[in-house]
């Protein structure tokens, strides 16, 4: 397969810093050399290629724009976007995996977590040793997440969580889930808080969703939480209200926009190649 040389009819390359070009080219080369040889088989067999997780960690793609003090690459947002662009060029599921790990799991720990939580999780997540998923969408609440019915009730020195989450990327791969739940007696979105929930906790199950038409090389799951008990230290202390998970989605959508450019580049390049 010929090496991808890029599609840049708007001369974006001339506006990039040298480090940004280097990041893009490094990930581009990895996509050509490591991802493309396995992705067709993974897609056909509807499996997420877990063997690539350590390689992506070595590239520094997980939480790439988070600070170096937590084991992350400390890149600027443009470099992060270029990473998402190149991963999406290879496969949407691979970009989704990295995007969820960084923007939807590492970011809320960084933004809303205690210093102890940051030190405990972020370096290991950057190394790909701990994989996360983001539990916001529910079976009956997708575009209206404020209507969620998942609830975390204080009980002694912790919380008991009950509820279900739907269409969760990385759900059956993850070691931890960032679960958003209403707390206290209120049913208002202002009562929503975030929790770091181990996926091996009693009462937590993740079931892969079958019959997808796309994202076949990505794990998409339904999460069930039945009397899942977590300690008080599982709460993201600075989270509060619907604004918190929506801030995470804003981070992710930035990468998705860059990914759309990568997908368009791949489609154009493939069509041009075929026409020739």
Residue 125, pLDDT score: 99
> Chain-centre distance of CA 192, in angstroms?
20
Superfamily of 132-237 according to CATH:
Butyryl-CoA Dehydrogenase, subunit A, domain 2 (2.40.110.10)
pTM of the model: 0.95
Cβ–Cβ under 8 Å, residues 256 and 156: no
Helices (H), the chain: 18-30, 36-44, 53-59, 77-90, 92-99, 107-112, 115-126, 243-275
Residue 240, pLDDT score: 96
Cβ–Cβ under 8 Å, residues 192 and 108: no
Residue 115, pLDDT score: 98
Cβ–Cβ under 8 Å, residues 222 and 210: no
Where along the chain do the CATH 2.40.110.10 domains lie?
Answer: 132-237
Tokens standing for residue 263: 């997908």
Residue percentage of the chain with pLDDT more than 90: 91
99: left (phi over 0), alpha (psi -120 to 50) or beta: alpha
Cα–Cα distance measured from residue 66 to residue 83, given in angstroms and rounded to the nearest whole number:
14
Short-list 168, 162, 158, 44, CA closest to 101: 168
pLDDT tens, per residue, the chain with 276 residues: 667 877 888 899 999 999 999 999 999 999 999 999 999 999 999 999 999 999 999 999 999 999 999 999 999 999 999 999 999 999 999 999 999 999 999 999 999 999 999 999 999 999 999 999 999 999 999 889 999 999 999 999 999 999 999 999 999 999 999 999 999 888 999 999 999 999 999 999 999 998 999 999 999 999 999 999 999 999 999 999 999 999 999 999 999 999 999 999 999 999 998 998
Cβ–Cβ under 8 Å, residues 196 and 234: yes
Where along the chain do the CATH 1.10.540.10 domains lie?
Answer: 12-129+249-275
Give 21-35 pLDDT, tens digit per residue: 999 999 999 999 999
Superfamily of 12-129+249-275 according to CATH:
Acyl-CoA dehydrogenase/oxidase, N-terminal domain (1.10.540.10)
């Amino acid at each position: 397969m010929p090496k991808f040389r890029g599609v840049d009819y708007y001369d974006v390359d001339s506006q990039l810093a040298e480090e940004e070009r280097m990041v893009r080219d490094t990930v581009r080369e990895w996509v050509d050399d490591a991802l493309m040889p396995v992705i067709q088989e993974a897609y056909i067999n509807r499996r997420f290629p877990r063997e690539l997780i350590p390689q992506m960690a070595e590239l520094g793609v997980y939480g790439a724009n988070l600070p170096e003090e937590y084991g992350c690459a400390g890149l600027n947002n443009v470099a992060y976007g270029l990473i998402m662009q190149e991963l999406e060029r290879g496969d949407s599921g691979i970009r989704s995996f990295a995007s969820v790990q960084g923007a939807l799991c590492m970011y809320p720990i960084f933004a809303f977590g205690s210093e102890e939580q940051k030190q405990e999780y972020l370096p290991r997540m950057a190394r790909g040793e701990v994989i996360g998923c983001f539990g916001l969408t529910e079976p009956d609440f997708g575009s209206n997440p404020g209507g969620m019915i998942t609830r975390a009730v204080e009980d002694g020195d912790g919380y008991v969580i009950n509820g279900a989450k739907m269409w969760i990327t990385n759900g059956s791969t993850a070691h931890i889930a960032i679960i958003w739940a209403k707390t206290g007696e209120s049913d208002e979105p202002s009562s929503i808080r975030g929790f770091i929930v181990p996926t091996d906790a009693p009462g937590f199950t993740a079931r892969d969703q079958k019959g997808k038409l796309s994202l076949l090389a990505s794990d998409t799951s339904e999460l069930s939480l039945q009397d899942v008990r977590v300690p008080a230290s599982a709460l993201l202390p600075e989270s509060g209200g619907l604004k918190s998970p929506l801030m995470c989605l804003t981070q992710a959508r930035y990468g998705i926009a860059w990914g759309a450019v990568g997908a368009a580049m791949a489609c154009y390049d493939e069509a041009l190649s075929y026409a020739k």
